[in-house]
Amino acid sequence: MQAMVLHRPGEPLELIERPDPQPADGEVRVRVAACGVCRTDLHVVDGELPNPKLPIIPGHEIVGRIDAVGRGVERLASGMRVGIPWLGRTCGHCRYCRSGRENLCDSPLFTGYTRDGGYATHVIADAQYVFPLAETGDDVAAAPLLCAGLIGWRSLKIAGEGKKLGLYGFGAAAHIVAQVARWQGRDVFAFTRPGDVAAQAFARKLGACWAGSSEEPSPEELDCAIIYAPVGALVPLALKAVHKGGAVVCAGIHMSDIPRFPYSILWEERELKSVANLTRKDGEEFFGIVPQVGIVTETTAYPLRRANDALSDLRAGRLQGAAVLVP
Contacts with Zn ion, residue ranges (CB under 5 A): 38, 40, 90-91, 94, 97, 105, 147
Q: Is 13 exposed, middle or buried (0-12, 13-18, 19+ CB in 10 A)?
A: buried
Q: Compute CA 100 distance to the chain's CA centroid, rounded to the nearest angstrom.
A: 20
Give 20 or 106: the residue with its C-beta nearer to Zn ion.
106
Residue 281 φ/ψ, nearest 5 degrees: -65, -40
Give 147 or 242: the residue with its C-beta nearer to Zn ion.
147
Give 83 or 246: the residue with its C-beta nearer to Zn ion.
83
Give 142 or 242: the residue with its C-beta nearer to Zn ion.
142
Give 97 or 211: the residue with its C-beta nearer to Zn ion.
97
- Measured between alpha carbons, how far is 270 from 238 in angstroms, rounded to an integer? 11
Least Å from the CB of residue 78 to Zn ion: 27
Contact indicator for 68, 23 with CB cutoff of 8 Å: yes
First to last CA, the chain: 10
Query: How many other CB atoms sit within 10 Å of the CB of residue 268?
Result: 11
Tell me the chain's radius of gyration from C-alpha atoms. Answer: 19
- Measured between alpha carbons, how far is 117 from 140 in angstroms, rounded to an integer? 16
Give 133 or 222: the residue with its C-beta nearer to Zn ion.
133
Least Å from the CB of residue 244 to Zn ion: 33
Least Å from the CB of residue 323 to Zn ion: 12
Contact indicator for 264, 205 with CB cutoff of 8 Å: no
Give 69 or 156: the residue with its C-beta nearer to Zn ion.
156
Least Å from the CB of residue 153 to Zn ion: 13
Least Å from the CB of residue 55 to Zn ion: 20
With CA atoms as reference, report the closest residue to 103 among 121, 85, 118: 85
Least Å from the CB of residue 263 to Zn ion: 33
Least Å from the CB of residue 141 to Zn ion: 17
Give 87 or 265: the residue with its C-beta nearer to Zn ion.
87
Q: What is the DSSP string of 161-222?
A: S-SEEEEES-SHHHHHHHHHHHHTT-EEEEEESTT-HHHHHHHHHTT-SEEEETTSPPSS-E
Least Å from the CB of residue 102 to Zn ion: 6
Q: Is 85 exposed, middle or buried (0-12, 13-18, 19+ CB in 10 A)?
A: buried
